[in-house]
Amino acid sequence: MDKNKIKQAGFGKYLGKTFIIGLGLFSLSLMDPLYNTYVPLFLRRYIGTNFVVGGIMTLDNILQLLLIPVIAVWSDRTRTRLGRRLPFLVVMLPVSAILFHLIPVMASVSLLALIIIIFCFNIFKTSVRGPVVALMPDTIPGEFRSEANGVISMMGGIGVITGTLVLTRLINIQEGLPFTAAGIITILAVVVLLFCIRERLPGKGEDSAEKRVPLLASLKQVFTAGKASHDYSFPMLLLSLFFWFMAYEGLQPFLGLYLVEIVGVAESNAALAMGVAGISGVALAIPSGYLGHKVGRRRLIRICLVFLTVILLVVPVSTTLALAAGLSINVCLIIFLALMFLYGTVWIGVMVNSFPMVWQMANYDNVGIYTGLYYTFSQGAAILAPPITGLIIDLGGYPGIFIFGGLCMFAAWCTMGSVRAGEPGELSRADKPA
The residue type of 129 is R
Q: Give domain status of residue 432, yes or no.
A: no
Nearest CA among 67, 48, 47 for reference residue 59: 67
Domain that holds residue 333: 225-420
Is the confidence at residue 117, as pLDDT, over 80?
A: yes
pLDDT at position 121 is 93
The verdict on 196 and 268 lying in the same domain is no
The residue type of 294 is K
pLDDT at position 426 is 56
Q: What single DSSP character describes residue 11?
A: T
The verdict on 194 and 232 lying in the same domain is no
* CA pair distance 130, 144, nearest whole angstrom: 20
* pLDDT tens digit sequence for 34-84: 887 788 888 888 887 766 777 787 777 788 777 877 787 787 777 878 778
* Per-residue confidence band for 11, with pLDDT thresholds at 50, 70 and 90: confident
**Chain CA centroid to CA 287, Å:** 18
The verdict on 377 and 281 lying in the same domain is yes
Name the phi and psi angles at 83, rounded to 5: 120, -155
What counts of helices (H) and strands (E) characterise the chain?
16, 0
**Chain CA centroid to CA 280, Å:** 16
pLDDT at position 433 is 38
The verdict on 122 and 242 lying in the same domain is no
Cβ–Cβ < 8 Å for 365, 206 = yes
Q: Give domain status of residue 239, yes or no.
A: yes
Is the confidence at residue 204, as pLDDT, over 50?
A: no
pLDDT at position 203 is 53
pLDDT at position 301 is 96
- Domain closes at, from 186, 201, 216: 201
Size of the chain in residues: 434
Classify burial at 261, counting beta carbons within 10 Å of its beta carbon; exposed 0-12, middle 13-18, buried 19 or more.
middle
- Domain closes at, from 147, 167, 201: 201
Q: Give domain status of residue 6, yes or no.
A: no
Nearest CA among 130, 167, 151 for reference residue 19: 151
pLDDT at position 413 is 97
* pLDDT tens digit sequence for 23-39: 988 998 888 878 877 88
Q: What single DSSP character describes residue 429?
A: B
The verdict on 133 and 170 lying in the same domain is yes
Nearest CA among 354, 231, 348 for reference residue 299: 354
Sign of CA dihedral 235, 386, 304, 363: positive
Q: Give domain status of residue 57, yes or no.
A: yes
* pLDDT tens digit sequence for 122-179: 899 888 888 888 888 778 887 788 888 888 988 888 888 888 778 877 878 888 899 9
The verdict on 300 and 369 lying in the same domain is yes
Q: Indicate which CATH number applies to the domain containing 154.
A: 1.20.1250.20
* Per-residue confidence band for 243, with pLDDT thresholds at 50, 70 and 90: very high
The verdict on 292 and 148 lying in the same domain is no
Name the phi and psi angles at 223, rounded to 5: -85, -15
* CA pair distance 360, 297, nearest whole angstrom: 11
* pLDDT tens digit sequence for 272-296: 777 787 788 888 888 998 898 889 9
Nearest CA among 206, 148, 149, 236 for reference residue 363: 206
* Per-residue confidence band for 213, with pLDDT thresholds at 50, 70 and 90: low
Cβ–Cβ < 8 Å for 281, 333 = no
Q: Give domain status of residue 121, yes or no.
A: yes
The verdict on 232 and 361 lying in the same domain is yes
Question: Partners of 429 in the beta sheet?
Answer: 363
The verdict on 334 and 294 lying in the same domain is yes
pLDDT at position 244 is 96
Q: Give domain status of residue 33, yes or no.
A: yes
Nearest CA among 237, 220, 189 for reference residue 354: 237
* pLDDT tens digit sequence for 379-392: 888 888 888 888 88
* pLDDT tens digit sequence for 299-350: 999 999 999 999 999 999 998 898 888 888 888 889 988 999 999 999 999 9
Tell me the DSSP string of 80-96. Answer: BTTBSSHHHHHHHHHHH
Cβ–Cβ < 8 Å for 346, 293 = no
Q: Give domain status of residue 209, yes or no.
A: no
Provide the number of structural domains found in the chain.
Answer: 2
Which own/partner pairs from 216-223 qualify as long-range (CB within 8 Å, at least 24 positions apart)? Answer: 218/73, 218/366, 218/369, 219/369, 219/373, 221/366, 222/366, 222/369, 222/370, 222/373
- Domain closes at, from 151, 185, 201: 201
The verdict on 187 and 323 lying in the same domain is no
Name the phi and psi angles at 27, rounded to 5: -65, -45
Q: Give domain status of residue 352, yes or no.
A: yes
Q: What is the pTM of this model?
A: 0.77
The verdict on 241 and 292 lying in the same domain is yes
* pLDDT tens digit sequence for 92-110: 999 999 999 999 999 999 9
* CA pair distance 97, 111, nearest whole angstrom: 21
* Per-residue confidence band for 182, with pLDDT thresholds at 50, 70 and 90: very high
Nearest CA among 290, 287, 316 for reference residue 11: 290
Is the confidence at residue 86, as pLDDT, over 70?
A: yes
The verdict on 176 and 266 lying in the same domain is no
* Per-residue confidence band for 219, with pLDDT thresholds at 50, 70 and 90: low
* pLDDT tens digit sequence for 362-377: 776 777 788 888 888 9
